[in-house]
Amino acid sequence: MADELGHRRTRHAVVIGGSLAGLLAARVLSEHAERVTVVERDRYPEGPEARPGVPQGRHLHVLIEGGQRALDELLPGFMDELHGLGAPKVGVPQDMVQWQNGHWYVRSEATAYFYTGPRPQLEWLVRQRVAADPRIELVEGTETVGLLGDAARVRGVLVRERGAGTDREPRALEADLVVDASGRSTKAPDWLAAIGAEAPHEETLDTGLAYGTRFYRSPAADPSTDALGYYVVPNPTQVHSGVVLPLGDGRHVVTLGGLRDDVPSTDEDLFEEYARKLPHPVVSEWLAKAEPLTPVYGSRKTTNVRRRYDRPGRRPAGFLATGDALCAFNPIYGQGMAVAALSALALRKALADPRRTPTTRRVQRALFDASKQAWDISAGADKNMPGVTGNAVGTGVTDRLTGWYMRRVQARASGNPVVGTPFRAALTLTAPLTGLFAPSVARAVLFGPVPETPAEPPLLRGEAGGS
């Protein structure tokens, strides 16, 4: 078989990892392969519950608009189903009290929306839809331990059952195509080296961000505010962050973050004390009225990591990487689920393109391109944080000019819709970053004044600010 994917002779495809990126990749591959096997380390819970294989599952997740559109295209009617399960739809800037770069955002008409329901709920719904396809088999409680094949072509995977009392000897699972969707902790670079292939170059950028998350019963109805959530955005001079968002079932999720030696404690009392480090007590005041429901869950897995499978190298045909196994972002930017869906959409388009033969390298490039804007946003912002480390930190003249321009964008996005609307469109991956350089936007950014914004958090829509 030639280095060609999505061909009618592709009989069997294997996807390593059954989280969101893997499930959506399987959905697309089922349109081209006779059968698709998803190999998942965990055993799936019966319902929409957290599981060990999704370490971020107990933390805050948002589904931004780029991901919503992609999911609806991949799984028609998906967003209506998700909304029917009670996932809240939050409009920005209308529904949020947001502080960024010393300014409170004007709560004007929403120009972007995101969903804030629990991550396990969304993944469960995707899993139900994908598993209903008879061409797709979900193999649970099984880990991938290596690749079959050689430096020229991957021909399957070695898998081993997990758990006490199981046969621990690996067995071969042959395939025409293997897709690695095993997450940011992927072992694929080692597996490629073991069959004589070349591992990809890794780009890393780490701010040292760590955060803690706790779930709360929402306060009783409060006539002093109509906000659905709160967001204090960190920046190079104010590195503490705080987010409060609804989950749709009478609960809210609260995440607090900081850098390196000044991070939230998993001690429950100290966690709430940490909120006082934020530049305004609005989050602390909310916490004082809410009822805690869970322990504090901590996380330090926030490094931006990009594996350059798109670059030339001695890598085999029949192997692709997607999701966090390809590009993992600092979770604070809320891009991961959207990029998983956009990557699956890119996979579909690359495999079905009638103008070009879908070679491994060409399809991998399409997957890389699907994650590029999110990387530019996440890594571009993180480069400016104090003490950042990694081999992708270096900034040239272009980076410095872009950084200067983006600071002016952010200063005006809080109160000027000419800037704020395309800024939110870029952040939600529904429009390219180049939209921020359109003539009308550039005029406002370069020559327009910094707009007047509320002096205090605007707890009610339309007010100039006040607590």
Residue 174 is predicted with a pLDDT of 97
Q: Where in the chain is the domain with CATH 3.30.70.2450?
A: 209-299
The verdict on whether omega for the bond into residue 458 sits within 30 degrees of 0, i.e. cis, is no
Question: In this structure, what DSSP letter does residue 78 have?
Answer: H
Alpha-helix residue ranges (DSSP H) falling in 30-174? 65-74, 78-84, 119-131
CATH architecture of 209-299: 2-Layer Sandwich (3.30)
- Report d(CA 370, CA 364) in Å as an integer: 10
CA triplet 118, 273, 237: central angle to 5 degrees? 85
Q: Where in the chain is the domain with CATH 3.50.50.60?
A: 12-61+122-204+303-380
**H or E element that contains 253:** strand 251-259
pLDDT digits (tens, 9 = 90+) for 355-371: 888 999 999 999 999 99
CATH architecture of 12-61+122-204+303-380: 3-Layer(bba) Sandwich (3.50)
Residue in 426, 396, 186, 203 with CA at minimum distance from that of residue 310: 203
β-strand 209-217 against 89-92: which pairing, if any? Answer: unpaired
Residue 224 is predicted with a pLDDT of 87
Please check whether residue 63 is in contact with residue 115, taking contact to mean a CB–CB distance below 8 angstroms: yes
The reported pTM is 0.95
316, β-bridge pairs: none
Residue in 247, 246, 241, 314 with CA at minimum distance from that of residue 277: 241
**H or E element that contains 22:** helix 20-29
Residue with tokens 């950014």: 445
List % helix, strand, coil for the chain (3-state, nearest 5).
35, 25, 45
Give the residue ranges of the chain where pLDDT is below 70: 1-9, 55, 164-167, 463-467
- Report d(CA 467, CA 456) in Å as an integer: 7
Burial 359-376 (b: 16+ CB within 10 A, else e): ebbbbbbbbbebbebbbe
**H or E element that contains 408:** helix 397-413
Residue 165 is predicted with a pLDDT of 60
